[in-house]
């Protein structure tokens, strides 16, 4: 099994991480080159003037792919989900041996992004329910779906858990806790307004916003710029059902469509899906920092739900 996947149709190379085979960066580079060499050996990739690359790549994978393909194509352009007309794909020229193109030029196409709609989903609920863990698993699940929009994740709470923090927890929990405490700060109105503006101005097809675990004026400001909400709650002072009801009321007041209500049960041994439509409901088990939760049935179902909303 390969941790990276790709296929080519004409001048478009589709790439993406595999949801079935997780690996660290060094192995992903090796797997990506292995897939690329197979396409070349089968003469599916023969070279030409222009190659467009569509799909998520790590920096290391992008360098490796570019090194191989720059000898075969005059121009290589990479899809950027954050620019161009919504619903259509725009590519940035990154390598050019052709005088008609320069690095940084945009190639705006009429390739429909499958007539997709923007989804800006808030992951919300009380603290210590496992929201950051769920977001990490959800991100990787979607990234492993070829042709799924890139899941742009934004942490809208200054709780010290920056991008990539879950991987740090898996490798070095002591350092991760230290980093979290160092960078933890209060959620202020000024910060909330900046986050709200970032959500409102984003033209990503899919944006996942991880908000703080308190119902507050600050979170109201942030959430009003989103379109949808996923509520995750674990047992605490109130029953999980009580927590979800409170957050559902909050989300509806901000004009959000609640698309999932999920119970988080740390000590459970398996997920449970109660229903998938119109609202995904059920339970996800053992959301632990540093753990790989990508292939949990509930997270797979949630990923499919989100991708479906963009179509």
Helix (H) or strand (E) holding 204: none
pLDDT value of position 237: 45
> Rg of the Cα trace of the chain?
21
Helix (H) / strand (E) element for 25: namely: helix 25-41
Three-class SS state of 270: coil
Nearest by Cα to 147 from 210, 73, 202, 81: 81
**What is the pLDDT at residue 87?**
72
In tens digits, the chain (311 residues) has pLDDT values of: 788 999 999 999 999 888 667 788 899 999 999 999 999 999 999 999 999 999 889 999 999 999 999 999 999 999 987 788 777 889 999 999 999 999 999 999 988 765 568 999 999 999 989 999 999 999 989 988 877 888 999 999 866 465 565 565 566 666 545 655 555 657 899 999 999 999 999 988 899 999 989 999 999 999 999 999 999 998 654 556 688 999 999 999 999 999 999 999 999 999 999 999 999 999 999 998 778 898 999 999 999 999 999 87
- What secondary structure letter does DSSP report for 23? -
Distance CA 185, CA 170 (A): 23
Q: Tokens in use for 304?
A: 């499919």
The answer to whether 273 touches 280, Cβ cutoff 8 Å, is yes
Contact present, 155 and 210 (Cβ < 8 Å): yes
> Which strands make up the sheet holding 73-79, listed edge to edge?
4-9, 12-17, 48-54, 73-79, 88-96, 106-112
Q: What is residue 69's three-state secondary structure?
A: helix
Q: How many CA atoms lie within 13 A of 308 on its CB side?
A: 12
pLDDT in the model for residue 144: 81
Nearest Cα residue to 29 out of 74, 69, 59: 59
Q: Are strands 119-124 and 106-112 parallel, antiparallel or unpaired?
A: unpaired
Write the DSSP assignment of 91-148 as a string of letters. EEEEEE-STT--TT-EEEEEEESTT---EEEEEE-STTS-HHHHHHHHHHHHHTSTTP
Task: Using alpha carbons, select from 195, 263, 184 the residue that is nearest to residue 223.
Answer: 195
Q: How far apart are the C-alpha atoms of 306 and 205, rounded to whole Å?
A: 11
Which among 49, 47, 54, 48 has a CA at the least distance from the CA of 7? 54
Task: State the DSSP code for 244.
Answer: H
Write down the pLDDT at residue 33.
97
Tokens coding 13 = 């190379």
How far is it, in rounded angstroms, from Cα 265 to Cα 17? Answer: 28
| Per-residue confidence (pLDDT) for residue 166, from 0 to 100 | 59
């Amino acid at each position: 099994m390969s941790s990276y996947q790709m296929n080519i149709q004409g001048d478009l190379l589709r790439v993406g991480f595999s949801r079935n085979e997780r690996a660290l960066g060094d192995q992903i580079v090796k797997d990506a080159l292995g897939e690329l060499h197979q396409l070349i050996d089968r003469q599916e990739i023969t070279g030409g003037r222009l190659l467009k690359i569509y799909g998520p790549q790590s920096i290391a994978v992008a360098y490796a792919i570019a090194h191989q393909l720059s000898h075969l194509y005059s121009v290589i352009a990479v899809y950027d989900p954050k620019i161009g007309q919504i619903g259509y794909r725009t590519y940035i020229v990154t390598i050019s041996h052709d005088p008609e193109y320069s690095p940084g030029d945009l190639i705006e196409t009429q390739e429909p992004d499958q007539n997709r709609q923007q989804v800006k989903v808030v992951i919300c609920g009380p603290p210590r329910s496992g929201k950051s863990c769920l977001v990490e698993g959800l991100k990787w699940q979607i990234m492993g779906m070829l042709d799924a929009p890139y899941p742009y994740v934004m942490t809208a709470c200054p709780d010290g858990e920056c991008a990539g923090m879950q991987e740090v927890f898996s490798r070095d929990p002591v350092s991760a806790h230290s980093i979290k405490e160092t960078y933890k700060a209060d959620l202020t109105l000024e910060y909330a307004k900046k986050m709200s503006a970032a959500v409102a101005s984003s033209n990503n097809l899919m944006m996942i916003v991880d908000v703080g675990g308190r119902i507050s004026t600050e979170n109201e400001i942030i959430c009003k710029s989103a379109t949808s909400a996923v509520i995750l709650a674990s047992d605490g002072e109130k029953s999980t059902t009580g927590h979800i009801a409170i957050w559902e009321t909050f989300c509806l007041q901000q004009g959000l469509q609640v698309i999932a209500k999920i119970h988080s049960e740390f000590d459970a041994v398996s997920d449970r899906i109660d229903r998938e439509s119109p609202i995904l409901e059920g339970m996800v088990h053992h959301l632990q920092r540093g753990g790989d939760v990508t292939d949990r049935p509930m997270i797979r179902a949630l990923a499919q739900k989100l991708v479906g909303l963009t179509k």
